Structure 1
Amino acid sequence: MDSLTQVVLGGAVGYAVLGNKVGYKAAIYGAILGTLPDLDVFLPYSGDVEAFTYHRGFSHSLLIHLLISPFIAWLLIKCHQATAIYKKHWFWLVFLCLSTHAILDSFTVYGTQLLWPITEYPFAVSNLFIIDPLYTLPLLFAFIVIFLPKIKPARVTKINHFALAISCLYICWSLTAKFYIDKKVTIALNDRQIEVDHYLSAPAPFSTLLWRVLVMSDGQYYEGYVSVFDSASDVSLEAYHSSDALLTNIKDEWDVQRLQWFTKGFYSVKAEEQNIVLSDLRMGAECRYVFNFILGEQTSTGIVKSDVEKVSDRPDLSMLGNVWDRIWDASVSLAPLKKSGVCVNRES
């Protein structure tokens, strides 16, 4: 999730654990701890694939959180000797602020290695978009209230607990919506006799009312958007081709295998001029995938491995207005326009 969400979640959790004993300091330390795991982005990884696939690794491991929490709690007690009698509370503040960060991240589609080093498997429930105002706003409100001097502590505690409860209920709603969407898409896929190798559903930007679905099927993939108000017959999927055979000569390279593993099979391979590009289909949308990697190049002797380079392509924000329209109207298309096989803006 985005940094603001992690900060206010950490603050709310910290205050819920120790706010009635140390006041707003619990929220401050909670906010700091709530963003601490994401500092792994500043580590000097050796390459783009390493930075991409090791992010949300050891720093997001619940096992590591359990091991380092006593040490961090000890440091905090050293800074606040008068609170030494709350040693257990400090431990739970640290552990819960760190672990809720990781668990919340695992609700997005990216992948979080919750059980590192036992397994590097990137857990991803994909029931929340990386930025979701409806999840964040209650926690932000409670975080602000904590620092307002004229509100009584007992009332602050109630508001904070209420915000945490609302955020948890929203997560439950998103899981329910995801189940409902998956059920409708399964019916649509069966009706159209589409063979499914891999299937994924994830919320569209800033909403849990509209979901992007992705289906991998024997050398091609389907992308579509489904609203909670759609029926199974409204499900519309666009087919796209992936030239996986372009990886044949470099299939044993570590970078290739690592990306295939990390994306869980949700990737496409295309030739762009002389470059062989693998795109992570889970993040972004057709023509605008956030993570793309140049893995090889075409030469006179065939395809050879090249220096790996990440190429980011941010989604077209002008389409966000159509996302809202698509929630209510199944006839609104979010599929990209193409001319001669090249993606263009809808205004073109």
Structure 2
Amino acid sequence: MDSLTQIVLGGALAAAVAPPQHRRAALLAGVALGTLPDLDWLVLLPLGLDPVDNMTWHRGPSHSLFVLIALAALMWAAFKRLGGRVAESPVRWFWAIQLALVTHPLLDALTVYGTQLWWPLPVSPTMWSTLFIIDLAYTLPLLVACVLAWRRRDGRGSQRALVLGLALSSLYVGWSFVAKAQVDRAADQALAAMGLQDAPRFSVPTPFNTLLWQVVAMTPDGYLTGQYSLVADAGPVRLDPRPSDVQAMASVRDFPAVARLRWFNHGFMSAREVDGQLVLSDLRMGLEPDFTFRFVVAERDGDSWRAVAPTQAPWPTDTIRRLPEVWHRIGSPEPTP
């Protein structure tokens, strides 16, 4: 999720758990802890990694539950040893620190990017894909709660605001799972009718909402995409075929950068040749055909492909211009072909 959301979640949790007389200090501590895992870029940047490694190592060790649980315990022990507020109320501060840190990767896992919750275990990143990376319906209750908690300091109204903000944001997360389940059922119906019931697929909310979803399914000769509005659509999702150079993809699948991407994005990517270069697009982020992450990974070498140092194509700008059509589509049913 975006930095503001992580900050207010960490702040709200720490302030709600810590003793009332420590609320402002806990709020500040939670803000710092809530953003700490995303500072992994300070480590990655000096390493001079290529774009594929940069993408796939972000939300890596710094987002591991094993690492963060241990780090939180060490921080708690260190501050307790120093005395002060943590020593005054060690149990409450233990949980305040743990929750502010550990909920960061759990919240990130709700997006489609991929979060390595179980690093160093060799499993693909977790992507529950129930929330878009920025969603004000989740963030605003927490932001308001943090502001009220800061202004009212140790009053009862402060605690009520924090509990209410956390409850509303948690209910929204629960709704996002319900919404995703509805979309997945509609996608399953469509794929079963096409004889593709076993096709790898995923659904993800479109920008800033949980009412309009994008569905992608992989096929032997490419992939399918469709949109489904929980407001306007009924029945199966309409899925349209999209081309992908599956032969080229098969030829380069063992190139290190391609293997790393395939592990990271669960194989949800397409390939196309552009001016003698092979461009792979991560199908999980962006709106068809303007996908956010596109990488050049190989060059044509006669009838085969030669691996090159990965480079990232510029981010598409059309996605921003297409936002009005996204909002319009929420209330408009999918036109029949």
Q: TM-score, normalised by structure 2?
A: 0.92
Aligned-partner Cα distance in 1 for 2:30–2:208: 25
Residues 196 and 216 in structure 1, CA contact (< 8 A), matched pair in contact too: no
State the one-letter code of the partner of 1:285. Answer: L
Secondary structure in structure 1 of the residue aligned to 2:182: helix
State the one-letter code of the partner of 1:262. Answer: F
Aligned-partner Cα distance in 1 for 2:249–2:191: 28
Structure 1 runs not aligned, ≥5 long = 336-348
**Could you tell me which residue of structure 2 aligns to residue 40 of structure 1?**
40
State the one-letter code of the partner of 1:206. Answer: F
Aligned length: 332
2:333 paired with 1:330: yes
Q: 1:188 to 1:253 in 2, by over 3 A?
A: closer
Aligned-partner Cα distance in 2 for 1:81–1:324: 51
Residues 18 and 93 in structure 1, CA contact (< 8 A), matched pair in contact too: yes
Shift of 1:266: 0.5
The two structures, once aligned, show a CA RMSD in angstroms of 2.0
Shift of 1:80: 5.6
Aligned-partner Cα distance in 1 for 2:43–2:329: 40
Shift of 1:146: 1.5
Shift of 1:65: 1.3
Q: 1:302 to 1:198 in 2, by over 3 A?
A: same
Q: 1:83 to 1:152 in 2, by over 3 A?
A: closer
Residues 196 and 217 in structure 1, CA contact (< 8 A), matched pair in contact too: no
1 or 2 for the larger relative contact order (CA 8 Å, sep ≥6)? 2
Q: 1:271 to 1:124 in 2, by over 3 A?
A: same
Residues 244 and 269 in structure 1, CA contact (< 8 A), matched pair in contact too: yes
**Could you tell me which residue of structure 1 aligns to residue 320 of structure 2?**
317
1:103-122 Cα deviation digits (max 9, x unpaired): 00001001111111134420
Shift of 1:195: 5.2
Query: What is the correspondence of 1:68-107 to structure 2 with a 5 Å cutoff?
Result: 68-77=71-80, 81-107=84-110
State the one-letter code of the partner of 2:50. Answer: G
1:89-146 Cα deviation digits (max 9, x unpaired): 2221111111111100001001111111134420111000100010000000001112
Secondary structure in structure 2 of the residue aligned to 1:304: strand
**Could you tell me which residue of structure 2 aligns to residue 241 of structure 1?**
243
- Runs of 4 or more, structure 1, over 6 Å off, are none
Aligned match for 1:274, one of 262, 269, 276? 276
Aligned-partner Cα distance in 2 for 1:330–1:160: 38
1:9-48 Cα deviation digits (max 9, x unpaired): 0000010110514121101100110010011122234322
1:173-229 Cα deviation digits (max 9, x unpaired): 000011111112211222343454211001111111111100111121111110113
State the one-letter code of the partner of 2:227. Answer: Y
Residues 23 and 154 in structure 2, CA contact (< 8 A), matched pair in contact too: no
Residues 278 and 294 in structure 1, CA contact (< 8 A), matched pair in contact too: yes
Q: 1:80 to 1:325 in 2, by over 3 A?
A: farther
Aligned-partner Cα distance in 1 for 2:173–2:108: 12
Aligned-partner Cα distance in 2 for 1:19–1:321: 46
How many percent of aligned residue pairs carry the same amino acid? 36
